[in-house]
Chains A and B, each alone.
Chain A
Amino acid sequence: MRLLIQNGYVIDPSQGINAGKNLMLEDGRVVGLSSYSDPVPDGVEIFDATGLVVAPGFIDMHVHLREPGQEYKETIASGAAAAVAGGFTTVCAMPNTNPINDNGAVTRFVIEQAQRAGLANVFPIGAITKNSDGSELAEMGEMKDAGIVAVSDDGRPVPSAGMMRRAMEYARGFDLPVIDHCEDKTLARGGVMHEGHWSLVLGMRGMPAAAEEVDAERNCLLAELTGARLHLAHLSTRGAIEAVRRAKDKGLPVTCEVAPHHWTLTDEAVQNYDTNTKMSPPLRSRDHLEAILEGLSDGTVDAIATDHAPHHADEKALEYDQAPFGIVGLETSVGLAMERLVGKGIISLDRLVELCATNPARILQLEGRGTFKANAHADITIIDPEMTWSFDVSRSKSKSRNTPFDGYAFRGGVVATIVAGRIVFRHPDYGRVTVSRASHASVT
């Protein structure tokens, strides 16, 4: 069966397309784009996308799906459901599960669970070091054969520069990007929020911006030394963004991502001790937030990633300094991007698609994704830029509820998500599918 996404506004930066087009899908693949006026063949399913933006499926390259080991927080199935509800057709699962994804068996398990769930594409990211403890390289070759798309010791960044160098050299042999959560633990130790005015007021130990920046600079220097592809995760400080900007000016293979909470909230949000404002890297001060916006707008930032980090309500109900780091983000990312970035003129819709689809696919070398080129995977995110909606966490598809964005109102949101040609999420008010009966018109 063929599916025609009709009368939508297609944005595909991979081909420089930004125009009203119909998009034909067949057997899980893209057939091609056509003009509104081109005849529609009989027997084609039609999704009416009038007034909607049709983009290559969004890719969240940084999520925590908690399976195996912490299924009470999230499963691959519930995480994938949250992903497609948030407009993501593909997510990349970080390896800090239990056991850690540091070998081919865990990698294969994650992929099989994702196939069973059958919603979003899930690509695992393998550990850099065994058990992510920073001492011995993990078997990257085996994991690559099993299906990982990158390596990272996210959350437990490789402390030793010497080990990081070896990891980058070794990963280069498999053409795997190395993703690093930049945090010098000797500087950030014991910190539960950004170090600055608010950490002093609240009497909590801070993580200075320098803890992130020292590590970002180190990693950029190592990228220069090794020639490995380096991707810096969820950057939150001005200095870290500047480090990437300088590396790019030098022509180094360095990319980076930022997370929605870091362009939305500052550390002032911590003042009521709400543990849903606790994540790592932490909410920073206004100047750092401005630097994130500048990086998004000037092209320094390559990708938007949520760092979706589900935690059970019981864990987040602990005292602030005892509660775990992290918030869920899959279902609010596009809303926060539309409201706070596109809506405020920080970035264009084209740039949004670049950040959410084109670039993540390029960084992770996901063949046939992030594009509408012929025969690409039929992964599509459909957005109504004018839809007003608000996020109700009680209706979240995730198993966890740890978000500071409950009740937030947005203009612009996801109305449908299509994975491999199948509509896996659809907003009830949009895109009822009909079947064409005549060669020139669709039934509405």
Chain B
Amino acid sequence: MTELGNGFKLKHLLGIRELSADQIVHLLDTADTFRDVSRREIKKVPALRGRTVINLFFEPSTRTRTSFEIAAKRLSADAINISVSTSSVSKGETLLDTARNLQAMAPDCIVIRHSSAGAPHHLAKVCDAAIVNAGDGAHEHPTQALLDALTIREHKHSFDGLKVAIIGDILHSRVARSNIYLLAKLGATVCVAGPGTLVPPEFAGLIEQGVRLERRIEDAVVDADVVMILRVQRERQTDAFFPSMREYAVHYGLHLNHLSLAAPDAIVMHPGPMNRGIEVSSEIADGGRSLILDQVTNGVAVRMAVLYLLAGVGHELEVPRKGNTATSSDSRATGGVRGRTRNPKRGTRN
């Protein structure tokens, strides 16, 4: 069990909603210290040597699964990937039995992606291993929100008063939920927009601070510092939430003219995988404002931080105080990362 900020103990990472702002900042600060490992020639530190991380993926995923695997390996953990198609599971073993069997092999951490909301919570009830939610149904995707935050912090330095617009299928998006929680906790304001079928009015009350709902993208992006585009989930189209991809692209796709309404230094993000020409035009995706690949890069650092804090020697960590650099025990645990790289200070980066 890991002390993370304010004395809160964190055994699993199931969602952002239950984290405090201090815990989030600590996770981001830790990710900062790991960022440089990936820039070195020898991309490995011994922090999790001898630890076992299981990536248990019940949904197809390339980016997230690879990112967790690379993160684990760069920390010297033994990473095992298990990809299970949900259909084959429904014929045989239950999720809990799978979990009990894996637990019997004494992993230190199980990273789970599942199409059912709450599946990681389910696992946490029967496993001693730390559980990391890598996306559960339409519930949460905490490491995505953390890597988005790391990317935003890199460019905007502070979340206070930051205006973030999230565009697209909010209803089915675990990315949107985790981001809304995280951004609000760190002081940003969030506006969402998308087709009426995919942005229920109740979203306005999702968090205490409130979420602004707009019907039109044009209204949502005005003065926005960050524009997050969500993926159109084609697999949801059996339910006909909108008439056609063509109409979606025209009314809810992000185009260059939208960006002229946003803040002059606005950045554009997308959790991937992109449907080019539908929710985002290639001019934007490949343009100077786009941080889409930075997000992927930061994903590795964030997942290293999460695995390190939950599966590693995190219990040795002292809680960093605001404005401080990471504590000395950090540098010990990360295998002297800092000796060779920049010592990150929150808020002083450029």
Contacts and interface: CB of A to CB of B under 8 A. Distances in A.
A202 B94 contact: no
A202 B206 CA distance: 10
A196 B203 CA distance: 9
Interface string B192-227: 000000001011011000000000000000000000
Interface string A280-317: 00000000000000000000000000000000001001
Contact of B117 (A196, A202, A272, A314): A202
Contacts of A197: 202, 205-206
Determine the main DSSP class of A at the interface with B: loop
Nearest to B141: A203
Given A314-B94, A322-B116, A204 B137 contact: yes
B114 A319 contact: yes
A206 to B, nearest CB: 9
Contacts of B171: 200
Contact of B116 (A196, A200, A272, A321): A321
A201 B174 contact: no
Contacts of A205: 138
B121 interface: yes
Interface residues of A, number: 17
Contact of B137 (A196, A200, A201, A203): A203
B317 interface: no
A169 to B, nearest CB: 35
Contact of B136 (A196, A200, A203): A203
B139 A203 contact: yes
A272 B114 CA distance: 17
Interface in B107-156: 114, 116-119, 121-122, 136-140
Contacts of A204: 117-118, 137-139
A318 interface: yes
A319 B119 contact: yes
A319 B116 contact: yes
B94 A200 contact: no
B296 to A, nearest CB: 24
A320 B203 contact: no
B140 A272 contact: no
Contacts of A200: 171, 177, 200, 202-203, 206
A201 B206 contact: yes
Interface string A183-225: 0000000000000110011111100000000000000000000
The 8 lowest CB-CB distance pairs between A and B, nearest first, are A203-B139, A273-B118, A319-B116, A203-B138, A203-B117, A320-B118, A204-B117, A321-B116
Given A318-B94, A322-B90, A322-B116, 6 more contacts: A196-B202, A201-B17, A202-B139, A204-B138, A319-B118, A319-B122
23 contacts: A197-B206, A200-B171, A200-B202, A201-B177, A201-B206, A202-B118, A202-B139, A203-B136, A203-B137, A203-B138, A203-B140, A204-B118, A204-B138, A204-B139, A205-B138, A272-B121, A317-B94, A317-B96, A319-B95, A319-B114, A319-B119, A319-B122, A322-B90
Interface of A: 196-197, 200-205, 272-273, 314, 317-322
